[in-house]
Amino acid sequence: MQNYDIETLAVRAGIARSQFNEHSEALYLTSSFVFDNAAQAAARFQGEEPGNIYSRFTNPTVTAFQERLAAMEGAEACVATASGMSAILATAMALLKAGDHVVSSSGVFGATVQLFSAVLSKFGVETGYVDGSALDSWKAALRPNTRFLYVETPSNPLTEVFDIRALADLAHDAGAVLVVDNCFCSPALQRPIDLGADLVVHSATKYLDGQGRVLGGAILGRRELVMDGIYGFLRTAGPSLSPFNAWVLLKGLETLRIRMEAQSRSALDLARWLEGHPGVRKVYYPGLPSHPQHALAARQQRSGGAVVSFEVKGGREDAWKVVDSTRLISITANLGDTKTTITHPATTTHGRISPEARARAGITEGLLRVAVGLESTADIRADLERGLGR
Ligand SMILES: Cc1ncc(COP(=O)(O)O)c(C=O)c1O
């Protein structure tokens, strides 16, 4: 189905009807599959006959989700995982060995930093962090044993945008691969593989579900990269996606493009309003001309996305006043929901890193992150105005 537009793929790709010819995708809630006889069981286990064996390996509902997401990302192959973190873990376990080196942007999700610095380091893998998107800093961080470059774009929470094509070229010249966490944009707004990325990882928990219901993850890329090492690790180690969650995510994908477009439109509206607000010092949103990588974002993304961060004038007390004055927006750490969410990164998602590291990353005490949902923009503005008004 590669020739259809993404809206069509979102509702049509990956369908394999059962003998009942159901219209909506079937949910195969089963841990194992039955063989006709011993010879068939042996052939399946030997890989001589295709077919399902056990849901840690494959399951038809999970396969449907994988095929749909692969079509939407323009990827040859996709494997689904139990969460976004297990997608990143599986990628690392498959691609790296003791003595290897990773270069990552410093503005990646906190648990990803923990995984690289506290877990992979135990197995002899070192990670170097790059502040900012300047290509020279990335070049300087490379070593002969660098195996992959890792980036989240736009970054969380400061929405810094990285040049995927330039980083892919840099990685390839160094004999490494580029891994992009495409959580903030999703394939509805950005397709890193078209820009040269080797692998895309997802926290499907965010926009792919889009309604805050289930955890999930995925890894996408060239068949040999995904199916040889990564699928092999998942099949053995077991952080597989449950068929129930895969079914929920399949249905989430159907509305992804229209949700992302509507939420991005509202985010731009909110960002413009915040930029003109006397209680706000600075707004971080790639869709604003004032954003340092606005031109790059306009080239690389269909829109600025649905996450807006901003710094209130004052410090923690003023930021918490905005959070505590909300009546509609949810005070919760998740993002990518149809319900707008707000967080104070310095005391939540980034609360466990040192104050110096926080300051280096630009996470000030006045910073707030809003992940815009589907409520009316007027209602979202009014909810923030209550705490911002002086
Ligand atoms: C950018 C990004 N990547 C990865 C993850 C991890 O995903 P999960 O919570 O599904 O394990 C998150 C979760 O918040 C995230 O925001």
- The pLDDT-based confidence of 261 (bands split at 50, 70, 90) is very high
Cβ of residue 85 lying under 6 Å from some atom of ligand 1? yes
- The pLDDT-based confidence of 258 (bands split at 50, 70, 90) is very high
Cβ of residue 181 lying under 6 Å from some atom of ligand 1? yes
Looking at residue 101, its pLDDT comes to 98
215 CA closest ligand 1 atom index? 10
Asked if 56 and 239 count as a contact pair (C-beta separation under 8 A), the reply is no
Sheet holding 280-284, edge to edge: 280-284, 307-312, 367-371, 341-343, 330-331
Cβ of residue 337 lying under 6 Å from some atom of ligand 1? no
- 373 CA to centre of ligand 1 in angstroms: 18
- The pLDDT-based confidence of 360 (bands split at 50, 70, 90) is confident
- The pLDDT-based confidence of 2 (bands split at 50, 70, 90) is low
349 CA closest ligand 1 atom index? 14
Q: Return d(Cα 84, Cα 186) in angstroms, integer.
A: 13
Ligand 1 atom 12: residue of nearest CA: 203
Residue 323: strand pairing partners: none
Looking at residue 377, its pLDDT comes to 96
pLDDT reading at 113 higher than 80:
yes
152 CA closest ligand 1 atom index? 1
Looking at residue 358, its pLDDT comes to 81
Cβ of residue 336 lying under 6 Å from some atom of ligand 1? no
Q: Please report the beta strands in the chain, taking only residues with DSSP state E, as ranges in sequence order.
A: 77-81, 101-105, 126-130, 146-152, 177-181, 199-203, 217-221, 280-284, 307-312, 330-331, 341-343, 367-371
pLDDT reading at 361 higher than 90:
no
Cβ of residue 67 lying under 6 Å from some atom of ligand 1? no
Average pLDDT value for the chain: 95
- Per residue in 276-301, pLDDT tens? 999 999 999 999 999 999 999 999 99
- 113 CA to centre of ligand 1 in angstroms: 12
- The pLDDT-based confidence of 1 (bands split at 50, 70, 90) is low
- The pLDDT-based confidence of 132 (bands split at 50, 70, 90) is confident
Sequential DSSP letters for 171-239: HHHTT-EEEEE-TTTHHHH--GGGGT-SEEEEETTTTTT-SS----EEEEE-HIIIIIIIHHHHHHH--
333 CA closest ligand 1 atom index? 14
- 85 CA to centre of ligand 1 in angstroms: 6
Cβ of residue 152 lying under 6 Å from some atom of ligand 1? yes
Cβ of residue 83 lying under 6 Å from some atom of ligand 1? yes
Q: Which of 119, 159, 202, 205 to mutate to test the pocket of ligand 1 (most atoms within 8 A of CB)?
A: 205
pLDDT reading at 357 higher than 80:
no
- 390 CA to centre of ligand 1 in angstroms: 35
- 74 CA to centre of ligand 1 in angstroms: 22
pLDDT reading at 189 higher than 80:
yes
Q: Return d(Cα 101, Cα 129) in angstroms, integer.
A: 11
Q: Which of 81, 85, 104 to mutate to test the pocket of ligand 1 (most atoms within 8 A of CB)?
A: 85
- Per residue in 93-106, pLDDT tens? 999 999 999 999 98
